[in-house]
Amino acid sequence: MQREAASVWNDIVREATSYYFACKKWISKPEIQAIRKQTYNLHSQTVQAIADKYAANRETIRQRRTTDQKANYPWRRKYYYCIPLKKASMDISTDTITIKKVDYGFSLSDLLTKKKKKNWNEKVPRHHHSIVIPNRSEENLDACNYAEIVWRNGAYWFCYAIHVPEQDLSMYEKKVAGSDLGEIHAVAVATEDRALVVSGRAMRSIS
């Protein structure tokens, strides 16, 4: 699935870049998503999430280039890519997490060729599959709308995002604090009369 996700990313980058040089403008995100439909062996929401990440990456670089002309738009070819999962592409229970996967019968080139034919309405063959992993989270994942499967330190990790209610901080005294982010000392924070240093030596030695 990571290799298939990398294929989605590489195709988007290649076609968006070619479109820019040909038309002198970027192809829009809805157009990117429309071309990608029913062409990869991934859930449609996963493919859509990869297109969303590309569009967000491109917008970030566009903003950076106002001050840094050396910032490059996405161009590097990837062989593996993290698997983004929207809520529709996974089923979560208290014991398991089911990741949905779809296999389509057409490649992208075949599908585009068929779509060019007049009055084409052939049904795209699809086969539904799923991968079940244990749910080891300590939080309630009913409200989980986004997750990613990443390869880290020799293992796959299911990284998820959930909404955490804001704490009421009105009872605490508020002060202005200055902070510095570093490598050896991950965070150093100081107010007028107090200071906090979070050491990152152990983490740095591991990495």
Q: How confident is residue 180, by pLDDT bands cut at 50, 70 and 90? A: very high
Q: How confident is the model at residue 140 (pLDDT cuts 50, 70, 90)?
A: confident
* Mean pLDDT within 142-155: 90
d(C-alpha 40, C-alpha 4), whole Å: 7
Q: Is 78 exposed, middle or buried (0-12, 13-18, 19+ CB in 10 A)?
A: middle
pLDDT of res. 98? 94
- The answer to whether the pTM exceeds 0.85 is no
Neighbouring C-alpha atoms within 13 Å toward the C-beta of 170: 1
Q: Distance of alpha carbon 189 from its chain centroid, rounded?
A: 31
Q: Helices (H), strands (E): how many in the chain?
A: 5, 9
Higher pLDDT, 54 or 166: 54
- What is the predicted pLDDT for the residue at 134? 93
- Burial of 147 (C-beta count, 10 Å sphere; 0-12/13-18/19+): buried
| pLDDT exceeds cutoff 90 at 49 | yes
Q: Is residue 58 pLDDT above 90, yes or no?
A: yes
Per-residue pLDDT band at 120 (split at 50, 70, 90):
confident
Task: Quote the pLDDT of residue 200.
Answer: 83
State yes or no: pLDDT of 172 exceeds 90: no
Q: For the residues 44-61, what does the mean pLDDT come to?
A: 94
pLDDT at 102: 86
With contact defined as beta carbons under 8 Å apart, do 140 and 164 qualify? no
Among 35-39, 46-50, 202-206, the range with the most confident prediction by mean pLDDT is: 46-50
- How confident is the model over 99-120, as a mean pLDDT? 76
Q: How confident is the model at residue 60 (pLDDT cuts 50, 70, 90)?
A: very high
User: pLDDT at position 169, please?
Assistant: 77
Residue 109 has pLDDT above 80, yes or no: no
The token duo for 95 is 């014991």
- Predicted confidence (pLDDT) at residue 110 exceeds the cutoff of 80: no
Show contacts of 19-22: CB within 8 Å, 24+ apart: none
Question: Which residue in 22, 137, 156, 131 sits closest to 80, CA to CA?
Answer: 156
Task: Give the tokens for residue 124.
Answer: 């795209």
Average pLDDT over all residues of the chain: 88
